[in-house]
Amino acid sequence: MAKKTPKKEPKLDKTKFPDAYIAGAGTVVEESITDTLEKNYMPYAMSVIVSRAFPEIDGFKPSHRKILYTMYKMGLLTGARTKSANIVGQTMKLNPHGDQAIYETMVRLARGNETLLHPYVDSKGNFGKAYSRDMSFAASRYTEAKLAPICAELFGDIDKDTVDFVPNYDNEMMEPTLLPAAFPSILVNSNVGIGVSMASSVCSFNLEEICNTAIALMKNPEHNAIETLKGPDFAGGGLMLYDEELLDQVYRTGRGSIKLRAKYEYDKKSNSLVITEIPATTTVEAIVEKVIQCVKDGKLREVSYIRDDTDLNGLTITIDLKKGTDPEKVMQKLFRLTPLQDSYACNFNILVHGYPRVMGVYEILDEWIKFRVECVRRRTLFDLNKKKEKLHLLEGLEKILLDIDRAVKIVRETEEEAEVVPNLMIGFGIDEVQAEYVAEIKLRHLNREYILKRTKDIEELKKDIAELEEIAGSDKKIKTVIIGELREIIKKYGQPRRTEFFYASDIAEEVEIDDTPDFNCSIFLTDSGYFKKILPNSLRMASEQKVKEGDFISQQRETVNRSDLLFFTTGANCYKTKVSAFTETKASAMGDYIPAKLSFDEGEEVVAMANTTDYSGYMIFVYAGGKVAKVPLSAYETKTNRKKLTGALSLKDKIVAAIQITDNCEIMLRSSNNRALIFDTALLLPKTTKSTIGVQVMSLKGKAEIINAKTIDPETAEGLKRFRCKAVPSTGSPAKELPDPDQLTL
């Protein structure tokens, strides 16, 4: 049989396929994961932080700035509105993202969305609502927009070299790196962003208050901002807890949590609470859903109905109350249980010179003042250069005034056009720029009257130039200019506060009352982990308890509906709930499967159940090795409603039994080598650590272990007194003649 020769790979012609021969192509190189992350992930993380998520000192993220600048270049500051789709399309020249992302950004800048205290976009059409999750905005082809009048303060100086410009992503046009905002827009409108490993959350402040604070700090760097800046002012209004200490912390550090409340009215005719303003951190739908859930859970029994009545007139949530309820107390309860009272977490993380910095109000205003001073200086130098250029031209024109006929003669007698300017320069002793200006004057303007009108501005120009030079060389004079501009902005755009205050004295010290209905009931736990809650009358009518095949009732207790339930598991966890969390059932029902109901960890099984109303008494944990732990039940009491406590018992040995006792009693232990021991729990000292394995109570030989533990009543214990021990540990006594332990009296 002929031997097959392996096929050779076809060789590529290097001249025809030069790209197929890249140096190092196909080579596998080992590289540290940290090096890979540094090379690939770090640039992405920095791009998100610097170019996407965080606002800069002018108050805008790149996406905001690109949209507003595009609208400015489209002439939408003074012109009529245009379709939003047109704006989005033009913005794509600067913003290399999808049209929907650009439009959503524009929506949040619009007046109709009600996100900003001072909207930058004057909108027409459905732009959705910031306070509603479900009220979505219309498509860009249906809405119209233009720049709001306040944008004149953002772009007023942009054509005077006040800020740097850079090429856009395809080098086709230029865009500004910052906008020369004439007011501290960074603090006037809210801004929230999430970057990589850091976030930013800047709340809004009243325009008049923030401008007055900036003015005061320029005049006196030691000014106390609380005197002029009363606190955040949100577009949605509402109420804010006035706490000077907290506000001072936010103003100095840029971090702090501000408590907000909804504003409401009580309508006596309909016996209902009418919510008209809500915290900026929540939505109408979230409030309605939470109130409904609280009503279902029995926490708001005073509420009969809730509806969202929001319409074209604004936000309205109506909560109907049952007769005889106190609206003020219900409102305090709503504040405690629902997002009608919420907190705004301040995190003033702002990009300054390309670096993220968490700054307080003082530091932000200081950086903005530096930024604005530089903008005004650059604007002043721009105006100064323009005036100097004009003065230079007029000074040349003034020299022509001395002998107009001579100028005309020079031009007329010059044979070549290219020689006109040099001849004028020689004839009147002027430079090339001045000569060019004179040479371009129309023939009709070569009269004494025209030239006198133009040259009489020379003295005024010299005066303006001296003034501008003085301003450009003095930070103090520049700040005076800025102060004047801020006062004008206050007159034009200032508006009353929307967010009002409430005080600590307005917060009712209400003790939370458990209004869960209370009644007697019996609870049952089966060996497999099924639980039943049965009312006394239903229990009396029952013939027998229904359980799964092979299962049996392992615990039975008489209790009340308000008591707490504790389930101890083989995973050393304690799952806490309440008896009221279970519905009443009948003896003929299987009941609730506890591992599923309480979401046990995989493989966990119920060891025992305990119930209590005051967490008095003890838990006795008996382990196979003969050790017993006595832990106060109060160790499992928590101030918060924690559902799962870890380390509730020891994992060092197999748990045999977990017994709840209200006071010291006697317990019988049975071992696998047919020995028994009765001991009094008073012999054991309570342990403060829940995961303790306890002390040795029964000494075991060989491979013997504890197989059963039961409490026994004094009468039974007296009949079995030969098994009693006076001290522990003890080996116990032979117990072959004892009946099955499950038949002993419990």
For residue 404, what are its two tokens?
């107009």
C-alpha atoms less than 13 angstroms from C-alpha of 470 in its C-beta half-sphere: 9
In Å, what is the CA distance from 672 to each residue of 93, 624, 696, 736? 84, 10, 17, 11
First-residue to last-residue Cα distance in the chain = 89
Cβ atoms within 10 Å of 5's Cβ, excluding its own: 6
For residue 260, what are its two tokens?
């907000």
123 has which bridge partners?
A: 145
DSSP codes of every residue in 504-522: GGGS--PPPP------EEE
Task: Using alpha carbons, select from 132, 116, 127 the residue that is nearest to residue 234.
Answer: 116
SS3 435: helix
Q: Are 240 and 500 in contact (CB under 8 A)?
A: yes
Element containing residue 174 per DSSP (H, E): strand 174-176
DSSP codes of every residue in 511-555: PPP------EEEEEEETTSEEEEE-HHHHHH-SS----TT--EEE
- CA quadruple 472, 478, 481, 485: dihedral positive or negative? positive
In Å, what is the CA distance from 732 to each residue of 636, 708, 714? 32, 14, 18
Q: Are 621 and 569 in contact (CB under 8 A)?
A: no
Q: How far apart are CA 370 and CA 726, in angstroms?
A: 84
Q: How far apart are CA 525 and CA 553, in angstroms?
A: 6
- CA quadruple 153, 156, 162, 167: dihedral positive or negative? positive
In Å, what is the CA distance from 250 to each residue of 203, 225, 247, 397? 11, 11, 5, 60
SS3 484: helix
Burial pattern 532-556, b for ≥16 Cβ within 10 A else e, equals bbbbeebbeeeeebebeeeeeebbe
In Å, what is the CA distance from 726 to each residue of 79, 359, 418, 469, 730? 100, 70, 129, 103, 9
Amino acid at 175: E
621 has which bridge partners?
A: 629, 658
User: Could you check whether the bond before residue 422 is cis, i.e. omega within 30 degrees of 0?
Assistant: no
Task: Using alpha carbons, select from 284, 231, 260, 251 the residue that is nearest to residue 341.
Answer: 260
Tell me the catalytic residues: 142
